[in-house]
Amino acid sequence: MTDLPTFTPASVAVTFVGAGPGAAAHLTLGAFRALQEADVVIHDRLVGEEVLALIPPHVRRIDVGKEGFGPSTTQGTINATLVAQAMTGARVVRLKGGDCGIFGRLDEEMDALEAAGLSFGILPGLTSAAVAAASIGQSLTKRGRNGALRIVTGHDMEGFAEQDWRGMARAGEVAAIYMGKKSSRFIQGRLMMHGADPATPVAIVENVSRPEQRIIAATLAALPEAVAQVDGPAVLLYGLEPRRARAALTELKEATA
């Protein structure tokens, strides 16, 4: 098995690289170096154009994009492509949006490489939740508010994903919800059924870190209607509101006091 703490891209058959949510500014130095040294880059649909532009022209690119509820390259095809390219002796980078290990199907691909006797290493990336929270001027944890953070998915292989709704519904809880657009009404219903305050803020960050990024301040009560405005990939930050929205609310309260 690969010695993950000490690997270098040159010492393994495949390097898994987290590309961050989109902007090149969020790519790590290690990830940049891996792209420069690669012979083949196998990348996801959500990898940002700024990051793809950093791949040298001579490097072969293979797009294996997946889209929830839409056209996708099957996971089996991705696994087979990864193994086939690595078996040629080429230096392969598997480039994934965000962080490889957060809803990135990393385990299936590592298992496929191990089954083929191929080595690998992992260069983590910034996950969308961290960058989205920074973009709204908030922290994901805060003393006196939440001592834990949930990172959950809106749907899984079985459909809409069940969570610890009772725990999430408690006051002060914060959760980053990935792939939550299609399941927003389901999420709203489950949380309110377990006692969540309808006025709980939810910040929706669409196209995190990209030029077309958009931030929508909503509440749990209005979540499905707010999400209906969103076309691109988005992270739902349950329990957080954009700092500017909080400031505006404070000013309004002071003006009407």
Residues marked active site are found at 44, 66
Q: Residues near 97 by Cβ (< 8 Å), separated by ≥ 6?
A: 18, 19, 20, 21, 22, 44, 45, 46, 47, 48, 104, 128
- State the Cα–Cα distance between residues 96 and 21, nearest whole angstrom: 9
With left for phi above 0 and alpha for psi between -120 and 50, is residue 104 left, alpha or beta?
alpha
Q: For strand 201-206 and strand 214-219, is the pairing parallel, antiparallel, or unpaired?
A: antiparallel
Residue 254 exposure: Cα atoms within 13 Å on the Cβ side: 6
Q: How far apart are CA 227 and CA 210, in angstroms?
A: 18
φ and ψ at residue 191, rounded to 5 degrees: -65, -45
